[in-house]
Amino acid sequence: MDPNSIFEERCRTPTIGDEAPPFKAVATQGEIEFPKDYRGKWVILFSHPADFTPVCTTEFITFASMVEEFRRMNTELVGLSIDSLYAHIAWLRRIQELEWKGMGNVEVTFPLIEDITMDIARRYGMLHPGQSNTQTVRSVFIIGPNGRIRAIIHYPMSLGRNIQEIKRAVQALQKADKDNCATPADWKPGEDVIVPTAGSCGTAKERMESKDPNQYCLDWFLCFRRERRCRSP
Considering the domain 180-233 in this protein, what is its CATH number?
Answer: 3.30.1020.10
Least confident of 86-100, 150-164, 167-181, 201-215: 201-215
Annotated catalytic residue 56: yes
Of the listed ranges 25-29, 53-57, 173-177, 201-205, the one predicted with least confidence? 201-205
pLDDT of residue 95 exceeding 90, the answer is yes
Identify the burial level of 106 via C-beta atoms within 10 angstroms of its C-beta, where 0-12 means exposed, 13-18 middle and 19 or more buried: buried
User: Is pLDDT of 8 > 80?
Assistant: no
- Of 11, 56, 181, 217, which residue is the catalytic one? 56
pLDDT at residue number 4? 45
Q: Which fold has domain 3-162?
A: Glutaredoxin (3.40.30)
pLDDT for position 6: 43
Return the domain boundaries, the chain. Answer: 3-162, 180-233
**Calpha distance 213→205 (Å, rounded):** 17
How far is Cα 42 from Cα 170, in angstroms, rounded to an integer?
8
DSSP, res 197:
P
Mean pLDDT of the chain: 91
Beta-carbon-side half-sphere exposure of residue 56 (alpha carbons within 13 Å): 24
- Report yes or no: 63 and 55 within 8 Å, Cβ to Cβ: no
CB 46 within 8 A of CB 80: yes
pLDDT at 233 > cutoff 80: no
Mean pLDDT of the region 159-182: 97
Mean pLDDT of the 117-125 span: 94
> What integer pLDDT is reported at residue 11 of this predicted model?
54
Q: How confident is the model at residue 118 (pLDDT cuts 50, 70, 90)?
A: very high
Give the pLDDT confidence of 208-221 residue by residue, as tens digits.
888 889 999 999 89
